[in-house]
Amino acid sequence: MLISKLVGSRTKENPADAVIKSHALLIRAGFIKSVAGGIWSFGMPAKKIAMKIEKIIRDEMDGIDGQECSFPVVMPKELWDESGRYSSIGDELVRFEDRNGHKLVLGMTHEEAAVHFARDNITSYQQLPCMIYQIQTKFRDEARSRGGLIRVREFTMKDAYSFHLTQDCLENYYQKVFDAYVRIFKRIGLKKIIAVKSDSGMMGGKISHEFMFLSEMGEDKIVICPHCEYKANMEIADAIISPNENNDKDTNVTEVFTGDAKEIVDVVKFLGVDDKKTIKAVVYNIKSSNKQVICFIRGDLEVNEAKLKKVIKSEIVPVSLAESSEIVAGNIGPMNLKNNGDQIIVYDKSLDGATGMVIGANKAGYHITGVSVARDLKISDFSDISKVKSGMRCIVCGEQVSVVNGIEIGNIFQLGTKYTTSMSMRVLNNNGVAVNPIMGCYGIGVGRALATVAEETADDKGLNWPLEIAPWEVYLCPIRYDNPDVKKLTLELYNEFTNAGIETILDDRNVTPGCKFADSELMGIPIRVVVSPKLLNSNTLEIKLRGVDESKIVLRNDIIKIILDIKNYV
């Protein structure tokens, strides 16, 4: 490739609206261009990187007997009605109509298509287990795309679906995919990947893992125990909360005036008590209904909304308390709460056995002190709806856990029979009985992986691609390309590299050396070979690795061997 012909120009200045490194540098290097919010064009270099990542993924998926298929981007409503997801998924699923008024969706994931394809083709247990996968465009109408390629609306994803007769078989294969994922992320240059237990969300199923790259940029919160193997997404993470200290002097239920103190911090300040000695109320509306859910939780803790959704088995939306006339915002308490039947009350397990607590009096300006949960509230059922905080104790080993951020790059799910049941996929087992196969599904975001590698490896000079996914392996950099001898040698080398299978981009421009060096670094090409008039007589070249300060002068005749050695070493 000649750089003079490459479509995608490089700039010295950062784009004004890019805040994260990978976003800014991919644009500065001319690799990507925004078309609309969360929708991007990829130039040749970015496309090459994506294809190399896909090749590695393909390699590993084929290695665990995956069969590459292709499912459609556009699917009919009816197919998504079969699984029930046409109506259960929110606005993230793009719905539209064709010219005949036929309702269609844009694929955001392909369980339906995979089961549709498999159910008529797999009829016997003898065909199981098997896995089909594709690498293809998805569209999700994200409420807010952000961070360049980190969170987008249109993206390429590898999605795989496996079918099994038994749970054992699924678990066995699940582990194989797990191991393949570890190899994939290592091969594309992501070393700091960890697998965490996660919430299955709308996918259904029980066991699932997310592959997280630990980064400040990450949108997911992960609970990690530094002392044992416990790692979990905040959504499902559990930890031992500090126990209730019940050495209270004031054990009489007393209504006290608290004035404008409504938030827990204010109440704590007003009454001079520890936040652990308070019970706060958090209210949500239940989606698509008039009902509300009121959560009572110890004052030092927060509600984990993902856990809450599971407890009440409903979607929730935040509530504006002014809307409600029944409850007194800021003074909500579990005693004498007017319940008109439209409210679900959930008590967090942190309240179990607590005494001497401060609660809202359900009366503007008043709280109640000295409340014993067991004596005064007579709660029969506690749920776990609290969010883990740094410093809580690990449920496995009891040491302090920490909360870190991560970028989710891949995930794996044990789906069970959710889709094979709803979509009527059956196979005959060895007794001739029709059963629903058990499914697993497995995803990796290609563009997000690309952006994450960029994010991790880039430095102040620019991008820095690992050799295995670099758009080109060698940046061939002649100085004084207008010098006929330099040009002759450069073209010789270019041909020799190409013939040796070394992917090379040639900087054929007549610009100053500094300009070429800067561009080679901005683009992040791993190996730079410099042809220079002053090295011509000694029949030598200069070779420099991206990210390494020193360069080396080597004999012209050794250059191919040296480059191949570097490739083999990596």
Partner RNA sequence: CGGGGUGUAGCGCAGUUUGGUAGCGCACUUGGUUUGGGACCAAGGGGCCGGGAGUUCGAAUCUCUUCACCCCGACCA
Write out the residues near RNA by the rule CB under 7 A.
9-17, 19-20, 23, 34, 36-38, 90, 92, 108-110, 138, 140, 142-147, 157, 159, 201-203, 219, 305, 315-318, 408, 411, 443, 461, 479-480, 482, 510-515, 517-519, 521-522, 530, 532, 534-535, 542, 544, 551
**Which of 106/394 has CB closer to RNA?**
106
Report residue 132 as tokens.
Answer: 């089909």
| Residues paired with 555 in a beta bridge | 540
Q: How far is the CB of 545 from RNA (least distance, A)?
A: 11
Element (H, E) at 96: strand 95-97
Closest separation between CB of residue 23 and RNA, Å? 7
- For RNA, give the closer residue by CB, 238 or 408: 408
Q: What is the DSSP string of 327-365?
A: S-TT---SSS----SSEEEEEEGGGTT--SEEEE-SSTT
At its nearest, how many Å lie between RNA and the CB of residue 176? 18
Q: Pairing mode, if any, of strands 103-106 and 95-97?
A: antiparallel
Compute the least distance from the CB of residue 90 to RNA, in Å: 6
Judged by beta carbon, residue 142 or residue 250, the one nearer RNA is: 142
Q: To 10 degrees, what angle do helices 484-499 and 559-569 make?
A: 40
Residues 230 and 232: their CA atoms lie apart, in Å, by 7
From the CB of residue 501, how many other CB atoms can be counted at a distance below 10 Å?
Answer: 10
Nearer to RNA, 145 or 258 (CB): 145
Q: What is the rounded distance in angstroms from the CA atom of residue 498 to the CA atom of residue 328? A: 75
Nearest-angstrom CA–CA distance, 216 and 452: 11
Considering the complex, state which of residue 306 and residue 467 has its C-beta at the smaller distance from RNA.
306
Q: State in angstroms the smallest separation of the CB of 246 from RNA.
A: 33
Shortest Cβ 198–RNA spacing (Å): 7
Q: For the residues of 437-504, what is the DSSP string, one character each?
A: PEEEEEEEEHHHHHHHHHHHH-BTTB----TTT-S-SEEEEESSTTSHHHHHHHHHHHHHHHHTT--E
Our CB check for RNA shows the closer of 368 and 527 to be: 527
- Closest approach of Cβ 139 to RNA, in Å? 10
| For RNA, the closer CB: 121 or 320 | 320
Alpha helices per DSSP H over 64-212: 77-83, 85-88, 111-119, 167-187
Shortest gap between Cβ of 534 and RNA (angstroms)? 5
Which residues are bridge partners to 293 per DSSP?
284, 344
Tokens in use for 229? 């193997």
Q: Which is nearer to RNA, 63 or 533 (CB)?
A: 533
